[in-house]
Structure 1
């Protein structure tokens, strides 16, 4: 059941991405010859109008085949009025950007659904208190519930750190203890911590950790837009930062995961419930959007790069350079795909 869910999720994400390209292409009068979910041999086809819609054997992607545009052979062009390559570069850029944009839009909508259903967060209840910390010196105790910081009402633990980072000097905490509210003053101090990439960083801390108790936060209609936007932005930043750390060597290439990892985590999320599944699908959708915007030939970002060059210089890229860069892009993408699948298999066979 988990594998089936994973396949359906991937197919849905690919469909949404390609639908963006399709709608933008049709808006600008470009004829779409093929709309395919998956690659390789076509196992189901149906012609509607002048477009062939199909499901292909390998569910690792999809494509929209537009008239006058062929990634497999960049020299295949058409000069008809409904051809992709006869359109102005700025129109082509919009068509190319529409796919990744659809992924970001889908993530945004899914995060709105997650916010409406309820998000599990740590309650603002103090657990462990560090020795020689501002919290200990100020008299904070385990199981104190933080109800207000600097006049701002606290609903969940993640709000605590955000407010502390913005504080300039002393902060005023109101905590609920044994049925009464007490007010405490303390000054955060700069302390070292390790981030999710294992790097040592510094930030303001007061020396407390959450108790582990959770609450469910349901966002109202007037809050959903902001919540969904913040989550989409955070997911995008996380993926970009992860890519940066991978290039810098902070994150090992062994951490790369492929289709097998996606199937595993999607299966686990589906078992955990609809909220977890929607959140994961949103994260994968953002990931697809970001990856496809990378300036790698054969990806949307690579095509956007070529069209931006043409838009600025008023001339098309050199055909030989275009072919060589596109070939190199495919080699890179296929190598990364093979490497990520190898990592997945290695982790499975070694029980890691």
Structure 2
């Protein structure tokens, strides 16, 4: 069941991100009177559809995105096929003024960016904005990078990696991208400020190297309620049900969800005694984490509640949405900058369809609808920004070509059709090479993950 949920989540997330992008091109073209020959949900052979006006709305065989075919635009003919020849000149995309073509091209990435803003904005209005705890350390994991650096429970982080008064999201994000790299921090302890240097430990998650500090924030007291329980999981086999309130783990009182997550991860190799409250009765269950179909070791349940939230109005919700997306862009830009500088491998940074599928499965099975839409916002933002890169076959390449055309037109020079086709061919090859690289990268991660999981099993078990 978790595999099916993950597959459906992958189709929805990737398909929605691409369709939203193409809808941006489509709606602006329609508003400008440019013919849209095809609007396809999916790629490949046409399965079924209907014709409304001059547009063929179709569902195609491969449900991973879609495309819009504009009349007179043959820039993506390698992917979308040749267009109709008999199109009135006033409806042809290629004969429109440059400013109109620019609006049609830029509308796709802008629609992705607006979607990435709309999802956290609506979540903030409907659910509220998470109340982020102050950067006070509640617990330091024994043997962790934080313990080695001298961080202690009760410390308040006042500076992290040069940022004054950082949020936990900022701390965790910077550490995530800095495995094995020293980071300067300042903590406040007993009224004094102490400068420390912490080097995030290099850990492998999903076949990728990430940094981990071993610090747990103080989230305060939050009731821990079970949300979804995956069929066939250790949690279901132990008798855990949605709505149960987790009171204790191995006799230790539970204060918040993070404590539950940490405890399960630290005790995966042994049974855990879980005290719960159900219908005003106290019950005790025993469960042990194991590897589930998505490749992660866990009990197989999610929480129905999250960190405390506060209700906000449209202005604060919009500010929250902008801050969330700026932080995503900051971390993405920092990761790419590390790749260019050679301090981070491309393998640990880039992901293709297999990586997106794994992330979609994880988001759906552990975060439910909230996780799915959070990943959709992340992917939509990155898709919008990526398409603005000045590479032929991408929207940024088309915009760059419009700028070059405008500059040459002032000198009375025009780009020949043969040169245009050659530029598109170069772009097509570049995209194919990039796709080949990320897919190969994904496959190497899967092989590495399989080998690591196989090596972790006892020799007698591997021999079976």
For the superposition of Structure 1 and Structure 2, which TM-score range results when normalised by the shorter chain?
0.7 to 0.9
Q: Does residue 220 of the first structure (1) align with residue 229 of the second (2)?
A: no
Work out which of the residue numbers 182, 191, 207 in structure 2 matches 1:184: 191
2:309 and 2:324 mapped to 1: Cα distance?
Answer: 14
Q: Relative to structure 2, which stretch is displaced further, 209-218 or 258-267?
A: 209-218
How far apart, in 1, do the equivalents of 2:41 and 2:339 lie? 30
From the superposition, tell whether residues 325 and 83 of structure 1 become closer, same or farther in structure 2 (CA, over 3 Å): same
Q: 1:19 aligns to what SS in structure 2?
A: helix
Q: Structure 2 vs 1, CA of residues 338 and 157 (structure 1 numbering), >3 Å: closer, same or farther? A: closer
What are the ranges of 5 or more consecutive residues in structure 1 without an aligned counterpart?
136-140, 148-153, 162-170, 176-182, 201-206
Structure 1 position 68, deviation (Å): 0.8
State the alpha-carbon separation in 1 of the partners of residues 168 and 344 from structure 2: 28
Q: Does the alignment pair 1:101 with 2:110?
A: yes
Report deviation, 1:88. Answer: 1.2
1:143–1:67 Cα change, 3 Å: same
For 2:71 and 2:200, how far apart are their aligned partners in 1? 51
Residue 310 (structure 1) aligned with residue 409 (structure 2): no
Maintained 8 Å contact 2:390/2:396? yes
In structure 1, the partner of 2:247 is: none
Alignment counterpart, residue 84 of structure 1, candidates 82, 93, 98: 93
| 1:99-248 superposed matches below 5 A | 99-116=108-125, 117=127, 118-119=129-130, 121=132, 124-126=135-137, 127-128=139-140, 142-143=153-154, 157-158=168-169, 184=191, 186=193, 189=195, 191=197, 210-211=216-217, 213=219, 215-218=307-310, 220-221=312-313, 222-248=315-341
| Distance of aligned partners of 1:301 and 1:280 in 2 relative to their CA distance in 1, 3 Å threshold | same
Counterparts of 1:146 and 1:335 in 2: how far apart (Å)?
A: 44
Cα 1:157–1:60, aligned 2, differ >3 Å: closer, same or farther?
A: closer
- Write the distance in 2 (CA, Å) between the matches of 1:240 and 1:157: 19
TM-score (normalised: structure 2): 0.59
Report whether the alignment pairs 1:341 with 2:352. Answer: no
Alpha-carbon RMSD across the aligned residues, in angstroms, is: 3.8
Task: For residue 34 of structure 1, give the secondary structure of its aligned residue in structure 2.
Answer: strand
Q: Unaligned 5+ residue runs, structure 2?
A: 141-145, 159-164, 173-185, 203-207, 220-257, 259-306, 453-464
Cα gap change, 1:245 to 1:47, in 2 (>3 Å): farther
1:121 to partner: Cα distance: 4.8
Kindly indicate whether the alpha-carbon contact (under 8 Å) linking 2:187 and 2:196 is maintained by their aligned counterparts in 1. no
Aligned to 2:427: 329
| Change over 3 Å in CA distance of 1:17–1:199 after alignment to 2 | closer
Structure with the bigger RCO (C-alpha within 8 Å, sep 6+) is: 1
Matching residue of 2:22: 18
State the match for 2:9 in structure 1: 5
Call closer, same or farther: CA 1:104–1:346 in 2, change over 3 Å. Answer: same
TM score, norm. by length of structure 1? 0.76
Partner deviation per Cα, 1:53-110 (whole Å, 9 max, x = no partner): 1122233442211111012459988670111111111211111010010000000011
Q: How many residues align?
A: 317
Is 1:261 the counterpart of 2:374 in the alignment? no
**Is contact 1:257–1:344 with CA below 8 Å preserved after alignment?**
yes
Aligned partner of 2:175 in structure 1 is: none
User: Structure 1 residues 131 and 292 mapped into 2: Cα distance closer, same or farther (>3 Å)?
Assistant: closer
What is the DSSP-based 3-state SS (H/G/I as helix, E as strand, rest coil) of the residue aligned with 2:90? coil
CA contact (8 A) 1:157 1:210 kept: no
Q: What SS class does the counterpart of residue 72 from structure 2 fall into?
A: coil
